[in-house]
Amino acid sequence: MSSYSVFFTQAAEAKSSLQLAGKPAIRKALLHLSRLLRSQQQSLLAANKTDLDRQPADNPRNDRLLLTPERIDAIAAAVRSVARLPDPTGKLLLRKTLPNKLRLRKISVPLGVVGAIYESRPNVTFDIAALCIRSRNVALLKGSIDAWHTNQEAIRLIKMALAEAGIHQGAVTLLPPDREVVDEMMKATREIDVIIPRGSDGLIQYIRRHSLVPVIETGAGVCHVYVHTKADIQKAVNIVFNAKTSRPSVCNSMDTVIIDRAVAKKFLRRLAPVFAGAKVKLLADAASFELLEGYPWLDKAAPDDFSREFLSLTAAIKIVDGFDDALAHINRFSTRHSEAIVTENKKLAEQFLQLVDAAAVYVNASTRFTDGGVFGLGAEIGISTQKLHARGPFALEKLVTEKWLVSGNGQVRES
């Protein structure tokens, strides 16, 4: 019996309350939470200030921890939009009657208890809570010690909203920010149905390696844009520039641009001034290094630069000899997140879509579109780079499992 089992027991108790709650109650809880985020903004900001004051002023993570009125508004809007999403549970996925008159129904049901382990961003507390309430999953939240006061205030608002809707307050529980909690969660195979780690690649890998509870993993993106010989060069420049610079800190941003040798000179001549204007640092292979002579932030690429997710204004450049060569590079280095080709050759474009093994594969568009919101799935927990259960934007619709309901009249099996 772990010292945290009281929380796990509470979670188990809340399960039926959440699963039996009517649709209006679920909606009410979320809309009320959204309102509380506005009416109780000051107390949330104050708690956040307490957390920030305990950090060194120059801690680079402070920005992740920081709440502002604008950020709280954005969180409230996100919670409201989750309230509007359709209920992913109770969907009739299949219905059939067997020759012996046994009636089968396959329906979508909540996963049960979702454990979330994340770092200092306080919006994650609200995001996961809202998605879990919407999908009738009990949530056990383990945030970081840095955000402890903010998260305590957040959970207070969440529990007020649950109470207002008549839902058991154990439906969302904030766990103490102790390291040992994580170990207990990873062992709780009977109490927790799935663990969702959110944050750095290190955190995610640690949990994937050690958890006995199944993990839904959102992964790093080493993403490529391949500029094919038949690319429209202006489109290619726009796409590469957007994929790299529009939000370099996110996983769907481009890391390496791959260029067919035949168009490399022409393309780089157009790209260089645009990239230079944004102060993009380039790590070039031998061939492109030569072509980029004079570029102000240029370095030779080390071999492992091609497997790096930069999450910053840095890009690697690789020149290849045609489609197969580009595909081989992508197969070797891709983390199977988002991959793009720029080409006017429709047949090759279709081949690229078919042969590249990634969650999202693009023709003539920026990799930056890989996103649950953009794809119309509502808020997302992250982009899954695994192949089981959820691939690509991991959103509300995947916070469920299936259940077979079988109704009979005394049927038994002959063999």
Interface ranges with its own copies (CB under 8 A): 16, 19-20, 96, 98, 102, 104, 106, 111-112, 193-194, 208-209, 212, 214, 216, 232, 235, 238-239, 241-243, 246-247, 349, 353-355, 357-366, 368-370, 374-376, 386-389, 391-392, 401-415
- The Cβ of residue 116 has, within 10 Å, a number of other Cβ atoms equal to 24
Pick the closer one to its own copies by CB: 145 or 405: 405
Q: How far is the CB of 299 from its own copies (least distance, A)?
A: 26
Separation in Å, CA 292 to CA 240, 285, 301, 306: 16, 10, 13, 18
Pick the closer one to its own copies by CB: 134 or 244: 244
Pick the closer one to its own copies by CB: 13 or 290: 13
Q: Which two tokens stand for residue 188?
A: 């709780």
**Helix, strand, or coil here: 376?**
coil
What is the CA angle 317-304-361, rounded to 5?
55
Pick the closer one to its own copies by CB: 158 or 395: 395
Separation in Å, CA 261 to CA 99, 228, 320: 63, 9, 6
Q: How far is the CB of 104 from its own copies (least distance, A)?
A: 6
Q: How far is the CB of 41 from its own copies (least distance, A)?
A: 24
210/208 Cα distance (integer angstroms): 6
Q: How far is the CB of 363 from its own copies (least distance, A)?
A: 5
Contact yes or no for 160/36 (Cβ under 8 A): yes
Pick the closer one to its own copies by CB: 47 or 399: 399
Q: How far is the CB of 405 from its own copies (least distance, A)?
A: 5
- The Cβ of residue 348 has, within 10 Å, a number of other Cβ atoms equal to 17
Contact yes or no for 29/17 (Cβ under 8 A): no
**Helix, strand, or coil here: 106?**
strand
Q: How far is the CB of 72 from its own copies (least distance, A)?
A: 19
Pick the closer one to its own copies by CB: 172 or 192: 192
DSSP-derived letter for residue 278 is T
Pick the closer one to its own copies by CB: 268 or 358: 358
201/207 Cα distance (integer angstroms): 10
Pick the closer one to its own copies by CB: 233 or 262: 233
313/415 Cα distance (integer angstroms): 65
Pick the closer one to its own copies by CB: 41 or 246: 246
Nearest to 64 by CA among 157, 150, 141: 150
358/361 Cα distance (integer angstroms): 6
Q: CB within 8 A of 34, min separation 6: which ones?
A: 76, 77, 79, 80, 83
Q: How far is the CB of 51 from its own copies (least distance, A)?
A: 27
Pick the closer one to its own copies by CB: 182 or 243: 243
* Gap between the terminal Cα atoms of the chain: 42
Q: How far is the CB of 194 from its own copies (least distance, A)?
A: 6
Question: What's the chain's length in residues?
Answer: 415
DSSP-derived letter for residue 305 is G
Residue with tokens 């090759």: 348
Q: How far is the CB of 210 from its own copies (least distance, A)?
A: 10
Pick the closer one to its own copies by CB: 40 or 205: 205
Q: How far is the CB of 388 from its own copies (least distance, A)?
A: 4
64/74 Cα distance (integer angstroms): 14
Q: How far is the CB of 112 from its own copies (least distance, A)?
A: 6
**Helix, strand, or coil here: 327?**
helix
